Chains A and B, each alone.
Chain A
């Protein structure tokens, strides 16, 4: 079988890309995983998938990213992919205000179908379209603070912010998980003394894993 060296990782995190159609989800994914951008990409039907490993706080984290179709009609199939996801990039297009207005609806989708403690990052894509900007950064930032979301602006076209976005959400997930694990361990063996314990994420840890969904 094709057990490759780059399959070694400490953690496997499932992340979903959601948002209205045409906001650039697929290009964000291809820019992050393959450093590619396609001005003429076709619409995503159902879901697509790609992976990439990054380093965060000395650990190798493999991101398994599910790129979903934006159209309403596909909700039935795409929402099935929210299960088990630990992170979501909720993307809108800074040049189309309606895609920002729909963010609330997408948050509801997540509340209905995703894990309660999923980490959500609001992503304003197409930041290269300065002259067409319809959503001000301040407005989006205020919204994300109000809803307790991380926030970033990106451009899949000129690559700005893309790596940072994924790096930040994955690191955030990792930290959250470590904290939660630590707390769980402490609770489990509170009188115990010896520190320096390795944090294990059970099924998610270890190399050469299969897909987790």
Chain B
């Protein structure tokens, strides 16, 4: 897994707007080296990160311990769609528009930048408390306009981004709002398991409560296995048998191109957790596509225990039943929390998916008239290709590596990540191919959409899509009137 952040000297060009932001953390100067202006170590100019981040802060300070804790425990069937509406200041919108182009061109440099910083990554067993740079140190160093070489010598084992994660995560009570801000731009692989579990409201922000919570949740899951899975087939209802059959048909077809998911133990875990989730959520039960959504969680949570490339199935022979049981339980609860935010995607008639497809269509109408007209002329409807994009959250469109990077940002967006922000990502993704698509007729276009060439995509390209999605979200978020037609027609 590659660290995806850009070193500061490459990021400098991102800042094409006036630097009037209230950049609290001056340690960030450290990244900029001799640069005279401060900048965030992020894809998004700090003013925007801040304006969004603050919106989230007010929500999260309240919701962190109370709401998320409650959510985990209830495991309820009728979870309301909790939406965190991040308000964006008008000024942020204008500035963002101005920067989008620069943003894109700078981010394209990511792959080479990634290679450069790769040498700095040192993987640790516990993923915490490595050499981190205190703000004081950083400020001291930033005032010293020494060369990049000198700075690297002072912090040889940890790059800047990892240091920031170290710092945030080592607090007694992790500042979730800060963590979200930071994680939006990608989480270092070693921190990812912990960060995802926190952002999904599974792992408590409070260090002292963690081991207790994990112990309890894992036991609860084990009880659920005994109750639902390890029972005689005759004691299952017809419907339960059908659900089990469907799960067992789909598990071997889940990410079959990834060696990890060809492992029998992994497949068994996946079958169990999907079936138990279905039993506990009868309003939707198991729907094809939910199996896909479990795969990033499994890969990331397993990576906590192995140094090798988990996706390639390396070192899996060392996988013990105990480890896998814990991972399975963690995946179950995190999947539960994730799906709680998008449950109406999978209920009867899938209203959530329909709503998102409609929103995507409205959005593309506003931002790419040429493409919209072409799709209309050729007779291709959004529902025909975008249904899967929503149902599987683009998991069929990207390799798992890219999806994991995408989810860093989705999880940082809060509950709206997989719903609201995803639509912007889809729009941005579609528009990447606008030119090509406009040269195609129905058959060719449809074939293309079913198999979009993303084999060579990496974190860098995902980040381009994410940053464009962000621009769109600042333009359209909260401006629902822009996105609703007077007479919304049914898409079926």
**Residue B81 at the chain A interface, CB threshold 8 Å:** no
Contact of A40 among B256, B348, B446 (CB under 8 A): B256
Distance from B28 Cβ to chain A, minimum over Cβ atoms (Å): 42
Residue of A nearest to B346 (CB): A73
**Residue A41 at the chain B interface, CB threshold 8 Å:** yes
B492–A76 CB distance below 8 A? yes
- Contacting chain A: which of B83-91, B150-158, B375-383, B413-421? B375-383
Considering the chains assembled together, what is the distance between the CA atoms of A49 and B443 in angstroms?
Answer: 8
Distance from A79 Cβ to chain B, minimum over Cβ atoms (Å): 9
Chain B neighbourhood of A199, CB < 8 A:
none
**In chain B between 345 and 398, which residues have their CB closer than 8 angstroms to a CB of chain A?**
346, 348-350, 378-380, 383-384, 387-388, 391-392, 396
Interface residues of B (CB under 8 A from A): 245-246, 249-250, 252-254, 256-257, 284-285, 287-289, 291, 346, 348-350, 378-380, 383-384, 387-388, 391-392, 396, 439-444, 446-447, 450, 492
**Residue A142 at the chain B interface, CB threshold 8 Å:** no
A45–B380 CB distance below 8 A? no
A43–B250 CB distance below 8 A? yes
Distance from A187 Cβ to chain B, minimum over Cβ atoms (Å): 32
Chain B neighbourhood of A76, CB < 8 A:
348-350, 492
B288–A45 CB distance below 8 A? yes
Contact of A71 among B246, B256, B443 (CB under 8 A): B246
Distance from A212 Cβ to chain B, minimum over Cβ atoms (Å): 8
Considering the chains assembled together, what is the distance between the CA atoms of A116 and B438 in angstroms?
Answer: 37
A45–B246 CB distance below 8 A? no
Distance from A15 Cβ to chain B, minimum over Cβ atoms (Å): 15
Residue of A nearest to B250 (CB): A43
Task: Given A49-B446, A77-B492, decide whether A40 and B253 contact each other with a Cβ distance below 8 A.
Answer: yes
**Residue A48 at the chain B interface, CB threshold 8 Å:** yes
**Residue A159 at the chain B interface, CB threshold 8 Å:** no
Chain B neighbourhood of A120, CB < 8 A:
none
Task: Given A42-B253, A45-B387, decide whether A1 and B441 contact each other with a Cβ distance below 8 A.
Answer: yes
**Residue A58 at the chain B interface, CB threshold 8 Å:** no
Chain A neighbourhood of B384, CB < 8 A:
46-47, 49
Chain A neighbourhood of B492, CB < 8 A:
76-77, 80
Considering the chains assembled together, what is the distance between the CA atoms of A71 and B250 in angstroms?
Answer: 11
Distance from A137 Cβ to chain B, minimum over Cβ atoms (Å): 24
Distance from A73 Cβ to chain B, minimum over Cβ atoms (Å): 5
Chain B neighbourhood of A188, CB < 8 A:
none
**In chain A between 31 and 67, which residues have their CB closer than 8 angstroms to a CB of chain B?**
40-43, 45-51
Residue of A nearest to B392 (CB): A45
Considering the chains assembled together, what is the distance between the CA atoms of A68 and B377 in angstroms?
Answer: 24
Distance from B164 Cβ to chain A, minimum over Cβ atoms (Å): 37
Considering the chains assembled together, what is the distance between the CA atoms of A51 and B384 in angstroms?
Answer: 16
B288–A77 CB distance below 8 A? no
A49–B450 CB distance below 8 A? yes
Contact of A42 among B246, B285, B380, B396 (CB under 8 A): B396
